[in-house]
Structure 1
């Protein structure tokens, strides 16, 4: 696992960025072979410098038109539990660790992460359990995420509307 990509989407999730750059998290990542940490920090107030973690190479940015290339190049993606980020990562066939922002009220993120976890597509944790999860995670237990089949829905609509 040479490259780990961390994304918070278009929101801010400073707690995730703070936790993933702690010495304990960096050691856990290094223990798994990580050499490069790429951070997409969104609207957050934290933008780590490239030399802020002397143990790992860090590349941090706020936004790009697309993070598809970052996902593609990553050996592991660590993401907030936004549906777009989760589905894009799973659709790319990358192992995914979701960090749920447990400080949100009416936490739909937890519902999404829990559902995809129950279906064995990802692992999830909270910021407070991130380091322990990094040390113990086992992606071999996960099942591939199969892409949707929109043609089935289109065919259904055609039949329902009498077009087919």
Structure 2
């Protein structure tokens, strides 16, 4: 796990950025072989500088047109629980640790993360137990996420509507 990519999507999730850059989290990542940490901080108020994670190479940015390359290059993706970020990461076949923002009201993110966890596609935690999760996580227990088959549904609709 040489390269870890952390994304908060287009939102603000300062608590995740704060927690992943603590000395305890950095040490847990280094123990797992992480050498480079890439942070996409979105609209957050925190933009860590490159020397905040002693022993790791750190780069941070707010937004890009696409984070697909960051996901592809990562050995592990740590993400907020946004559906787009989760599906893009799982679709790329990457190990995914979702950090649920437990401060949100009516938290649909928890529902998504919990269902994908039950289906054995990802691991999830909250900011308060991120460091412990980094220490004990085991991605070997997860099942690959198989992409959907939208063509089958389109064919079904065409047949049901008599359009061929």
**TM-score class normalised by the smaller sequence:** over 0.9
| Structure 1 SS opposite 2:6 | strand
Q: What pairs with 1:58-73 in structure 2 (closer than 5 Å)? A: 58-73=58-73
Instruction: Give the aligned partner of residue 13 of structure 1.
Output: 13
Match of 2:122 in 1: 122
Q: Which range moves more in the overlay, 25-34 or 152-161?
A: 152-161
Q: Which residue of 2 aligns with 1:93?
A: 93
CA–CA distance in structure 2, aligned partners of residues 152 and 53 of structure 1: 47
1:44 is aligned to 44
> Any runs of at least 4 consecutive aligned residues in structure 1 with deviations exceeding 3 A, and if so which?
none
Residues 77-131 of structure 1, C-alpha deviations (whole Å, 9 max, x = no match):
0000000000000000000000000000000000000000000000000000000
Distance 1:133 1:51 in 2: 24
- Give structure 2 stretches of 5+ with no counterpart: none
SS of 2:24's equivalent in the other structure is helix
User: Counterparts of 2:52 and 2:77 in 1: how far apart (Å)?
Assistant: 20
- 1:150 — aligned with what? 150
Unaligned runs of at least 5 residues, structure 1? none
Q: How far 1:19 sits from its partner (Å)?
A: 0.1
Query: 1:3 aligns to what?
Result: 3
CA RMSD, 1 decimal: 0.5
